[in-house]
A and B are shown apart, each in its own frame.
Chain A
Amino acid sequence: MAAVSLNNVVKKFGSLPVVHGASLEIADGEFVVFVGPSGCGKSTLLRMIAGLEDITDGEIVIGGKVVNDVEPAERGIAMVFQSYALYPHMTVEQNLSFGLRMTGNDKADTQRRVSRAADILRISELMQRRPRQLSGGQRQRVAIGRAIVRNPQVFLFDEPLSNLDAELRVQMRVEIARLHKELGVTMIYVTHDQTEAMTLADKIVVLRAGNIEQIGRPLDLYYDPDNQFVAGFVGSPKMNFIRGHVVERNDKGVILELAGEDGTRLAQPLTGPAPELGSHVTVGVRPEHFGDAGKGDADLTVSVDVVEHLGGTSFVYAATAAGEELVIQRDAATAADAAEITVSIRKSYLFDEKGLRLR
């Protein structure tokens, strides 16, 4: 059992900075997910926690102990790699026991741990096979099993499901959630799939270009993003962004005019400082926050490109008069196939020119 904290962790490869000072508290037993686009430094951060990369600056603490100079094996962690990293020339059983055998663990204990892991992951009947004789999902289980036999205090997962097909991914996602419940240990999980992040995490860390953009519970990120990047990254389909500018400031907030919608006024109540009159802002609207005309804060008439009927709901792909693409979620019944519809914004988020949230 261990809490993990990062204090201002910096990583440079040569002179190339890759992580610019990440600070983060992870409680004991928490399931934390790092998400972010490709190349943002998720793996690097994870590998630094694992001890596979050294830290240029800052401090990593696991279980109350600074581990900057501690060997990976002594950190109480286990890691599951994206490629599974199973030893191809060994059977499943040998794969599971390799680390323990090599570090001189007691034979009977090794045996016990291996069969426990096999039970947990239901791979007992695969023990004599080699990795190439396993399906993707089975390989993934073995890779997780290899982590379990170490009895780690912290599990590290680097995109463990990205090589699986969609169906298996959902299935393994549930398994990992089950495992977390069963073992109750801290887990740090890297993915660029925001669905995985939303469904698995107690806490999500959104990264972009080596910076932590926001840390929070999944629904907090969803309903209360700190900036445009997080707002766009969390949620599927993505949040819509409509440009606009401030036409009026008052003590309650601002009133905006949306691009291409002369005369449309959208009132945005703000408690914090309001942007300058005339300044450009972005209004974010989630697909489900559009409603029928006349029932919200502002009406937009949009031209419809495509309607996707998914059964319960439908997604309307449309464009505003200013040419901005929108995705609008509607009930199947109200998703007309008309070329033009009028929708109403019922709830929106306001971002300034730099993409920071205005509240």
Chain B
Amino acid sequence: MRSKSSAERRRGIALHAALFPLALIWLFPLWMMFVFSTLPENGIFSRDIILTPSDQFVENFNLLESDTGFIRATTISILVAAAYTVLSVALTSMAGWSLACYRFAGKGVVLATILGTLTLPYFVVVIPQFIMVARDFGLHNTLFALIVPPLFNSLGVLFMRQTFSMMPHELFDAARVEGVKEWRIFLFIGLPLARPAVAALSIILFLHSWNNYLWPLLINSKPAMMTAPVALGSLIGLTKVSWGGIMTGAVMLTAPMLVLFVALQRHFVAGISAGAVK
């Protein structure tokens, strides 16, 4: 690698000088979330601004657990997010594959429809979907209702279609000539080559499910079937808001995602920008 010129170095310093305060501003609420999660109730509402953590985290957590059954809610969240991610990645990549690799009647219509759903605001969809799932199918308060209705993900389908279309199709033709079945071509050539895209999509979908609030709130009203964000939300009562509990829960929900994100960042960035350069 060539050494950086002094002009480049100066540009780098200037960039960091600008980015560093921005990073601090962005991190500040996260830090305060952590600080609040360790304060006793009277600390949160004290007049002084407290910037350093205290030692009430475990107490806050116990409160949270006894109020909401947070551990069970988190378990449900993990289960749902994992199942959702696996199923949705499988479905979106299969749909993307077929749209990228096959000619079939009505392909244009299918593609246009998928694109069209992108223009629908989520709130237009969510009420009819709720009525269908809860009233017509009677599936409210089930894991099924948490996982299956949001599975279809237009953006994911288009993303995977793009990924597969950019691969050299002679690779797949070569396998076809060798007598490899289509689903094996998908499984053993298409998917492995799409690994960065699949990794990026998985993270996005997992986060999407993990952070999802509205749909689980609507569809699963029974406390025993709440996901973690809904459980946290339930702490905002009419008469009392348990800030210590909420902050503790928020820390518990955010921290693993931050770790996951940082650990997989390389894949994530590679997947998002894949194909940007040949």
A interface residues with partner B (beta carbon < 8 Å):
47, 50-52, 71-74, 77-79, 81-83, 85, 87-89, 98-100, 102-103, 146, 150
Contacts and interface: CB of A to CB of B under 8 A. Distances in A.
A103 B178 CA distance: 8
Interface in B159-191: 168, 170-171, 173-181, 184, 188-189
B173 A74 contact: no
B170 A85 contact: yes
A58 B178 CA distance: 25
A85 B174 contact: yes
Given A83-B168, A87-B189, A88-B193, A146 B179 contact: no
Given A81-B173, A98-B178, 7 more contacts: A51-B177, A83-B168, A87-B174, A98-B188, A99-B180, A100-B178, A102-B178
Contacts of A150: 178
A74 B175 CA distance: 13
The 3 tightest CB contacts between A and B, nearest first, are A73-B179, A99-B178, A85-B170
Nearest to B188: A102
B151 to A, nearest CB: 28
Contacts of B176: 52, 72-73
Contacts of B175: 87, 98-99, 102
Contacts of A83: 168, 170
Contacts of A100: 178
A81 B175 CA distance: 11
A51 B180 CA distance: 14
A146 B177 CA distance: 11
Contacts of B171: 85, 87
Contacts of A81: 170, 173-174
A85 B179 contact: no
Contacts of B189: 87
Scoring B170, B173, B174 by chain A CB atoms within 10 A of each residue's CB, the highest score goes to: B174
A155 B88 CA distance: 41
Nearest to B168: A83
10 contacts: A72-B177, A73-B178, A74-B179, A87-B171, A88-B193, A89-B192, A98-B188, A99-B178, A102-B188, A103-B180
Nearest to A81: B170
Contacts of A98: 175, 178, 180, 188
A211 B189 CA distance: 36
Contact of A146 (B168, B173, B174, B184): B174
A159 B177 CA distance: 17
Interface in B129-179: 168, 170-171, 173-179
Nearest to A150: B178
B168 A85 contact: yes
A102 B181 contact: yes
Contacts of A51: 177
Contacts of B179: 71-74, 99, 102-103
A47 B176 CA distance: 12
B170 to A, nearest CB: 4
Nearest to B174: A85
Nearest to A88: B193
A83 B179 CA distance: 19
B188 A52 contact: no
B108 to A, nearest CB: 13
Nearest to B189: A87
Scoring B179, B188, B189, B193 by chain A CB atoms within 10 A of each residue's CB, the highest score goes to: B179
B4 to A, nearest CB: 28
Contacts of B188: 98, 102
A103 to B, nearest CB: 5
A73 B175 CA distance: 9
A297 B148 CA distance: 86
A77 B173 CA distance: 13
A78 to B, nearest CB: 7
Contacts of B177: 50-52, 72-73, 77-79
Contacts of B180: 73, 98-99, 102-103
Nearest to A75: B177
Contacts of A82: 170
A206 B219 CA distance: 68
Scoring A71, A79, A85, A150 by chain B CB atoms within 10 A of each residue's CB, the highest score goes to: A85
A331 B49 CA distance: 98
Nearest to B195: A89
Interface string B182-209: 0010001100110000000000000000
A51 B179 CA distance: 11
Scoring A81, A89, A102 by chain B CB atoms within 10 A of each residue's CB, the highest score goes to: A102
A47 B177 CA distance: 10
Contacts of B168: 83, 85
Contacts of A78: 177-178
A79 to B, nearest CB: 5
